[in-house]
């Protein structure tokens, strides 16, 4: 049995394969080509497929990784082919989602931030993305909010407010990336993807991510007993840790 069939490495995107919302560097692409010759590779990101593909230099990303799980695994591709898609609207119900969206918009309307732009709520197949600064912000504004959030805890305070208001509905709220949060039903965090790989005969499943602390969108899969979790500080650290793991 080859190492490739025994070991699966799952990787977050923002802060792990790339800098937040930046394009993957050539060094990382070349390195992952080498790694894939030794082990099975998968991506599990919170963003939807178009956003992940944008960061990974196009839809060819589906051919470069054995698995691609977008939206925390609610949309799954294997060997380049779609095999699973979940629908949050059908699962939760539009009445509950509308209450969540209305509350979030009211909350964000009272925030005083360095700047505000557009697209504060983004509806995806498996989750609702909530962004206080607005997803249409420029990269400079994104970075500005990221630094502001580190000091003022904007997203963490917002997350606690959402937990207090909607936690009883079986919804979870996690901080991901640089500027936003995700809302989804219990169990629809990144652990969701594990159901599709745990029966594939891998002896070890490694997960690499940067948001592994409580409240981060990598926390649950990082701590899951089915995975060996690795916390990284950025793409360079990801390469360093994988080199050490595989002795390459």
Active site members:
12, 14
Residues 6+ apart with CB under 8 A from 197: 8, 10, 42, 67, 205
Distance of CA 208 to the CA centre of its chain: 11
CA–CA gap between residue 16 and residue 21 (Å, rounded): 11
Helix, strand, coil % in the chain, rounded to nearest 5 = 40, 20, 35
Give yes or no for a contact between 217 and 72, defined as CB atoms under 8 angstroms apart. Answer: yes
Of 137, 243, 236, nearest to 180 by C-alpha is 137
**Joined tokens for residue 183:** 């809302």
């Amino acid at each position: 049995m080859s190492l490739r069939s025994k070991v699966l490495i799952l990787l977050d995107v923002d802060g792990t394969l790339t800098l937040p919302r930046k394009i993957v560097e050539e060094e990382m692409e070349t390195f992952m080509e080498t790694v894939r010759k030794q082990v099975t590779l998968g991506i599990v990101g919170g963003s939807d497929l178009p956003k992940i593909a944008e960061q990974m230099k196009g839809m060819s990303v589906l051919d470069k990784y054995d698995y691609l799980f977008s939206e925390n695994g609610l949309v799954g591709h294997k060997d380049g082919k779609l095999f699973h898609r979940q629908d949050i609207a059908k699962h939760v119900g539009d009445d509950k989602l509308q209450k969540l969206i209305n509350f979030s918009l009211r909350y964000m309307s009272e925030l005083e931030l360095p700047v505000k732009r557009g697209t504060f709520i983004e509806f995806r197949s498996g989750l609702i993305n909530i962004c206080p600064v607005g997803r249409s912000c420029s990269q400079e504004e994104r970075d500005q909010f990221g630094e502001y959030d580190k000091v003022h805890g904007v997203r963490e305070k917002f997350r606690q407010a959402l937990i207090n208001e909607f936690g009883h509905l079986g919804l979870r709220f996690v901080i991901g990336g640089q500027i936003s949060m995700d809302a989804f039903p219990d169990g629809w965090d990144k652990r969701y993807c594990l159901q599709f790989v745990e029966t594939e005969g891998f002896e070890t499943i490694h997960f690499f991510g940067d948001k592994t602390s409580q409240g981060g969108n990598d926390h649950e899969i990082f701590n899951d007993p089915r995975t060996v979790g690795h916390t990284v500080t950025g793409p360079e650290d990801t390469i360093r840790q994988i080199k050490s793991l595989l002795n390459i």
